[in-house]
């Protein structure tokens, strides 16, 4: 059983404080949380490059409301006057740099209909007969997923399984669950190194928590 985000935060906080964690610490726990999530982005991108993305890294955001364009829009440089032909959902910010692997699947709320990813141009031009649309499809534009309204079959809500930029914003987030990371150990080490650099701490080369004591000894010897 891995650690929760809270436990990782305290592990990092203890290390960077020289195991003298108290109310006078020069950093907030929420700030450490943010650093952990940022460093986890690095590990996830590395895992993708090395083809080691694990399905457990994905989270599901459920019951995202389907909306209809309410005015003329321009999508992929193509003016859309019949906006009722297209629907969309706004999704939480996805992790960038995964080259299409950021989304595992998009489905209806009951997971019985899986939408296939296509380009925004093919989806839009398909409405004019340039392309034949068979299975239900979606296209991604920034943090908006666009659908053909006719392929939604009256769906009001859509679910998406993806790797999000900030997992704390996702509907399935549970602070009591194991934090999703390719490597818990490497995540802690990366975060500690980053915070050490930010706080201009002397590095703890032996990882034994004696960073503060070593720095104090060096100061006394120089005096």
The model's pLDDT over 109-119, given as tens digits with 9 standing for 90+, comes to: 889 999 999 99
Residues 13-26: tens digit of each pLDDT: 988 887 566 555 55
Q: Tell whether the model's pLDDT for residue 74 goes beyond 90.
A: no
pTM: 0.81
Percent of the chain residues past pLDDT 70, beyond the cut: 80
Q: Is the pLDDT of residue 64 over 90?
A: yes
pLDDT tier for residue 145 given thresholds of 50, 70 and 90:
very high
The confidence score (pLDDT) of residue 71 equals: 75
3-class SS of residue 173: coil
- pLDDT at position 191 is 96
Helix (H) or strand (E) holding 158: strand 157-162
Bridge partners (DSSP) listed for residue 64:
158
Domain positions in the chain: 5-55+175-222, 59-162
Q: What is the rounded average pLDDT of the residues 193-212? A: 61
Number of other CB atoms surrounding residue 189 within 10 Å: 15
Angle among Cα 9, 13, 16 to the nearest 5 degrees reads 140
| DSSP letters for 96-149 | SSSTTTTEEEEEETTS-SEEEE--HHHHHHGGGTSS---S-EEEEETTEEEEEH
Q: With 0-12 CB in 10 A as exposed, 13-18 as middle and 19+ as buried, what is 41?
A: middle
Average pLDDT estimate for 91-106: 95
């Amino acid at each position: 059983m891995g650690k929760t985000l809270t436990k990782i935060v305290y592990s990092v906080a203890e290390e960077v404080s020289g195991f003298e964690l108290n109310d006078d610490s020069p950093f907030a726990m929420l700030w450490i949380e943010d650093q952990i999530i940022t460093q986890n982005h690095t590990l996830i991108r590395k895992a993708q490059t090395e083809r080691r993305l694990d399905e457990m890294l994905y989270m599901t955001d459920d019951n995202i409301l389907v909306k209809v364009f309410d005015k003329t829009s321009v999508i992929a440089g193509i003016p859309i006057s019949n906006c009722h032909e297209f629907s969309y959902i706004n999704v939480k910010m996805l992790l960038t740099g995964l080259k299409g692997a950021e989304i595992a699947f998009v489905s209806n709320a009951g997971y019985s209909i899986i939408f296939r990813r296509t380009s925004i141009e093919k989806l839009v031009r398909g409405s004019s007969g340039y392309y034949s649309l068979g299975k239900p499809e979606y296209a991604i534009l920034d943090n908006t997923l666009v659908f053909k309204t006719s392929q939604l079959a009256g769906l009001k809500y859509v679910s998406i399984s993806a790797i999000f930029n900030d997992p704390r914003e996702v509907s399935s987030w549970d602070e009591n669950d194991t934090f999703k990371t390719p490597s818990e150990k490497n995540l802690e080490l990366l975060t500690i190194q980053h915070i050490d650099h930010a706080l201009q701490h002397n590095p703890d080369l032996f990882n034994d928590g004696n960073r503060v004591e070593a720095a104090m000894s060096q100061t006394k010897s120089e005096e």
